[in-house]
Amino acid sequence: MPLFKVAIVGAGPAGYFAAQALHNQQNEDRTFAIDMIERLPTPWGLVRSGVAPDHPKIKTVSKVFEKIAADPNFRLFANIEIGSEISVAQLKEKYDAVVIATGSHLGKSLGIPGEELPGSLSAADFVPWYNSHPDYVDVKVPLDCDTAVVIGAGNVAMDVARMLALEPSELDPTDTADHAIDAFKASAVRDVYISARRGPEHAAFTSPELRELPKLEHTNVVINKADIDAAIVRAGAEPEKEVKSNLDAMLLIAESQKSEHERTMRFLFQHTPKQILGTDRVEGVVYSTPSGDVTIKCGLVITAIGYQAAGIDGVPFENGKVVNIDGRVNENLYVVGWAKRGPSGVIGTNKSDAAAVVELMISDLKTPKAAGDISQLLTHQVVVDQSAWQKINEAEVAAGEPKGKPRVKSVKRDELLKLGLS
């Protein structure tokens, strides 16, 4: 039976769902041997270093990933970076097809004065910092101020605002990095603004996330009811289902505001950031609003206004994405997930996206021609394979047990390698 060899670069949700789609397409005419290659010593991508730690349910999708990885025709090559020592061209020679699934992890910038000041950072740095990503442990997050501003009206902005406005002991039973829990416990931040440049009817939040906010036990969540009333009028008699659901959720918050807590998360709409003030560090944000300029004094600004993909040598990039048509890049090179379509959609969106690209790939694959695999390209690299990853995984989970946490993640590459390879 023809066996096609496929390399998937990137072990995040899009990569695993591409592997799953390949498994699902096996029949008497074809089987697939899948090698998944990952730059970090650990797989799972955003499920490990992006999803908010106070949302553990979203992370249960990792069980699906591990089931995919248990297939005898699946191999993990983690701790291997493609594009530097091993090129995409070399992979293309070895495999019948190569799938880029590297996501987009660079934060977009506002392009306004003051954005470079200490105390102004991107969610693309803040989120992996609190999620123990080894490359972001040293990110400077000044929490010695009473007010923080989060710019953007999407789910990442909401995750970031919630992490800043939570009572930090709520993070004790989570897998938040210890260095971040310590910093949040010492934090002076009590007021967190989350600012949207357009009205509530255009917010990119999703309603399940909005509906969770009133459940915060130690945080006042404040939305101005007049903002929502005006948005309902602007949205008209028959708003789209998602818009209506969002406005209903926001109205509920606006009508049942709490004020008894020390910590507050406050929504601002129709606030377009114009300038970040400060000399040695952030001191405030100037917004233009329908009623003129408004300044919010703050010592920390986090922008959560979208992501773009980082380039990989040998892969065409444009506008923060891999250049592709429906996932085809060029001969035997494909792309899935955020690197393909940009940073949109929830984790599950990657499933149908990857399945569609795999269908195209199968229509291109005629007879197997693969001449080897990545193991012939490795020289001095230290590989974390599936069994080494399982050792890391088990050690992290075991370290969490006595503390009542799902896991304690190691934050250093050499520690991770020691756990996996000793």
Nearer to ligand NAP, 302 or 392 (CB): 302
Q: Does residue number 152 form part of the binding site for ligand NAP (CB under 6 A)?
A: yes
Beta strands at 272-277 and 284-289: parallel, antiparallel or unpaired:
antiparallel
Number of Cα atoms under 13 Å in the Cβ half of residue 182 = 6
Note whether 384 and 352 are within 8 A (CB).
no
Q: Does residue number 353 form part of the binding site for ligand NAP (CB under 6 A)?
A: no
Q: Does residue number 306 form part of the binding site for ligand NAP (CB under 6 A)?
A: yes
Q: Does residue number 285 form part of the binding site for ligand NAP (CB under 6 A)?
A: no
Report, in Å, the least distance between residue 16 CB and ligand NAP. Answer: 17
Q: Does residue number 202 form part of the binding site for ligand NAP (CB under 6 A)?
A: yes
∠ CA(353), CA(355), CA(359), 5° rounding? 120
Torsion sign, CA atoms 78, 156, 185, 170 = negative
**Distance between CA 369 and CA 357 in Å, rounded?**
20
DSSP H helical segments within 109-154, as ranges?
123-130
* Residue 209 is assigned to a ligand binding site: yes
Report, in Å, the least distance between residue 71 CB and ligand NAP. Answer: 27
Q: Annotate each residue in 238-277 with x if it binds ligand NAP (CB under 6 A) or - if it does not, as one string.
A: -----------------------------------x----
* Residue 394 is assigned to a ligand binding site: no
For residues 133-152, b (16+ Cβ closer than 10 Å) or e, as one string? Answer: bbebeebebbbebebbbbbb
Report, in Å, the least distance between residue 363 CB and ligand NAP. Answer: 29
| Binders of ligand NAP in range 102-141 (CB under 6 A) | 110
* Residue 115 is assigned to a ligand binding site: no
Q: Which stretch binds ligand NAP (CB under 6 A): 27-35, 88-96, 302-310, 385-393?
A: 302-310
**Distance between CA 311 and CA 165 in Å, rounded?**
34
- Size (the chain), residues: 422
- Residues 53, 154, 200, 320: which binds ligand NAP (CB under 6 A)? 154
Report, in Å, the least distance between residue 12 CB and ligand NAP. Answer: 12
Nearer to ligand NAP, 92 or 202 (CB): 202
Rounded to the nearest 10 degrees, the angle between the axes of helix 13-24 and helix 62-69 is 50
| Token pair in block for residue 260 | 């008894």
| Token pair in block for residue 81 | 């970076």
Q: Which stretch binds ligand NAP (CB under 6 A): 32-40, 194-202, 259-267, 374-382?
A: 194-202
Residues that bind ligand NAP (CB under 6 A): 110, 151-157, 159, 196-198, 202, 204, 206, 209, 273, 304-307, 343-346
